[in-house]
C-alpha cells in the first residue's frame, strides 16, 4: 500500500517498464476513500478482473487499461515464442468481454488491433514496442482531451454557481483531469467560486467515495448529498447547472451514463436548470442511431442486497440492477467535448463538431 499522493493530478492507470518486461499499474478504486493503494497487473486476466470489479472504472480509464492490458498479451506471446499478432488479438478479444457499455473500451482496443496489423511485418519485439507506443498515445491524448474539455466547459459555469454532478467523472475515471470534473476544476482554477453538490450515486457510491474525495483533495468546495435529495437541493435554488460524464453517446446525442443520470436530467428540466454532458470524442458511437441500442450492463444483485458486505434486504428478494441508463438528447442542453461545445444536441451538430 502507498500513501495518498501529494500531487494534484493522479495517474489512475499507467505502464511501468519496457514492452517486454513491464506491467500495468493502477489505483485500486475499490479501496477509496479510506485507503490509497496502487496495484500491479502482470497478465491479461488481472487487467480483465480490475475492469470487471471496478478497480479501474470510468470510460476513458477503462480504455487505457485495456490498451495496456493487450500489451501484456503480446508480452506473454513474446516470452513463450508464440505468434505475436495472435497473442495480441487473443488479449484484445478477452478484454472486450469485461464490460459492455463504455465504448472507449472497444475504441481503444480497435486502435491496438489496427496498430498490430499495420506493424505485423516487424520482428516480434519491435511489434510489441509499437503496440505499447500506441497505448501510451491513447493515454497521452486522453490527458490533452480532458484539459480541453475543462477549458470549454468552464465558460458555461457562472461565478458562484452551484454545480450538481452524478457518479465520478474526474481524474480517477480518465488519464488525468476528468471530463465532468474537468469543467469544475477549470472553473475553480479560474476563481469562479463554484460549489459542488455530489450525488452519492447508489448502489456503489462512486460520488461519495470517489468524487467527494477528488474534489476535497483539490480544495474545491463540495457538499455530499444522497441521490434522492437532488430535487430538494434544486428546489432550494442551490444548483445552477448539472454536469455529468458519459460512457457512450449515440449519433443523435442520447447518452448512456451511470444509473440515475436520466432521473437527474428530468429533475434539471423540471427546475429549468441547464444539463451538460462532458465527454471526449472517443465516447461517441456514431454507429448507433440512438440510445435504444446501447448495451446496458446488468450487475451482481448483491451490490444492492449486501452492498459493501452488509445485508440490507431479505434473502431471496428479486433484484434489478442495471449499471447505466440512457438520457435522451432532448434533455441535454449541450455536450462539452475537447473540440468545443455541441449545441443543439442532434446528429447534425454532433457530426459537424466531430468532423464526420
Query: Catalytic amino acids?
Result: 247
CA distances from 163 to 154, 237, 247 (A): 11, 11, 20
Sign of CA dihedral 186, 133, 101, 39: negative
Rounded to 5°, angle at Cα 189 from 166 and 353: 65
Q: Tell me how far apart the alpha carbons of residues 103 and 58 are, in angstroms, rounded to a whole number.
A: 11
Give the separation between CA 337 and CA 353, rounded to whole angstroms.
9
The beta strand positions in 78-220, using DSSP E, are 162-165, 195-199
Beta bridge partners of 40: 25
What is residue 80's DSSP assignment? H
Q: How far apart are CA 166 and CA 228, in angstroms?
A: 12
Contact 317, 305 (CB under 8 A): yes
**Dihedral sign (CA 159, 176, 136, 342):** negative
C-alpha–C-alpha distance, residues 71 and 129, integer Å: 9
Using DSSP, state whether 158 is helix, strand or coil: coil
> What one-character-per-residue DSSP string does 197-236 give?
EEE--TTTTHIIIIIHHHHHHTT--EEEE-GGGHHHHHHT
Rounded CA separation 102/167 (Å): 14
Mark 138-160 as b/e (b = at least 16 C-beta within 10 Å): bbebbbebbbbbbebbbebbeee
Amino acid at each position: 500500500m502507498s500513501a495518498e499522493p501529494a500531487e494534484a493530478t493522479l495517474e489512475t492507470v499507467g505502464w511501468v517498464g519496457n514492452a517486454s518486461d513491464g506491467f500495468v499499474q493502477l489505483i485500486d478504486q475499490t479501496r477509496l476513500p479510506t485507503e490509497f493503494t496502487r496495484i500491479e497487473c502482470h497478465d491479461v486476466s488481472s487487467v480483465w478482473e480490475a475492469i470487471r470489479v471496478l478497480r479501474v472504472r470510468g470510460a476513458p480509464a477503462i480504455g487505457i487499461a485495456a490498451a495496456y492490458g493487450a500489451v501484456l498479451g503480446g508480452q506473454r506471446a513474446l516470452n513463450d515464442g508464440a505468434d505475436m499478432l495472435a497473442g495480441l488479438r487473443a488479449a484484445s478479444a478477452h478484454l472486450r468481454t469485461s464490460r459492455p457499455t463504455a465504448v472507449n473500451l472497444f475504441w481503444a482496443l480497435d486502435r491496438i488491433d489496427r496498430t498490430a496489423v499495420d506493424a505485423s511485418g516487424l520482428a516480434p519485439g519491435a511489434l510489441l514496442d509499437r503496440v505499447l507506443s500506441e497505448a501510451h498515445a491513447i493515454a497521452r491524448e486522453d490527458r490533452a482531451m480532458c484539459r480541453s474539455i475543462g477549458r470549454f466547459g468552464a465558460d458555461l459555469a457562472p461565478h458562484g454557481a452551484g454545480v450538481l454532478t452524478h457518479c465520478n467523472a474526474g481524474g480517477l475515471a480518465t488519464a488525468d483531469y476528468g471530463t465532468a470534473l474537468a469543467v469544475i476544476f477549470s472553473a475553480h482554477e479560474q476563481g469562479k467560486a463554484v460549489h459542488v453538490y455530489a450525488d452519492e450515486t447508489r448502489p456503489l457510491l462512486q460520488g461519495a467515495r470517489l468524487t467527494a474525495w477528488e474534489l476535497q483533495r483539490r480544495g474545491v468546495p463540495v457538499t455530499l448529498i444522497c441521490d434522492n435529495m437532488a430535487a430538494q437541493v434544486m428546489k432550494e435554488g442551490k444548483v445552477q447547472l448539472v454536469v455529468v460524464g458519459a460512457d457512450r453517446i449515440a449519433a443523435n446525442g442520447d447518452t448512456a451514463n451511470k444509473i440515475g443520470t436520466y432521473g437527474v436530467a428530468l429533475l434539471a428540466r423540471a427546475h429549468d436548470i441547464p444539463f451538460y454532458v462532458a465527454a471526449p470524442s472517443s465516447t461517441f458511437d456514431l454507429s448507433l442511431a440512438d440510445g435504444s441500442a446501447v448495451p446496458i450492463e446488468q450487475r451482481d444483485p448483491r451490490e444492492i442486497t449486501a452492498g459493501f458486505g452488509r445485508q440490507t434486504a431479505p434473502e431471496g428478494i428479486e433484484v434489478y440492477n442495471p449499471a447505466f441508463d440512457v438520457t435522451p438528447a432532448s434533455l441535454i442542453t449541450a455536450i462539452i467535448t475537447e473540440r468545443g461545445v455541441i449545441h443543439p444536441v442532434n446528429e447534425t451538430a454532433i457530426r459537424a463538431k466531430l468532423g464526420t
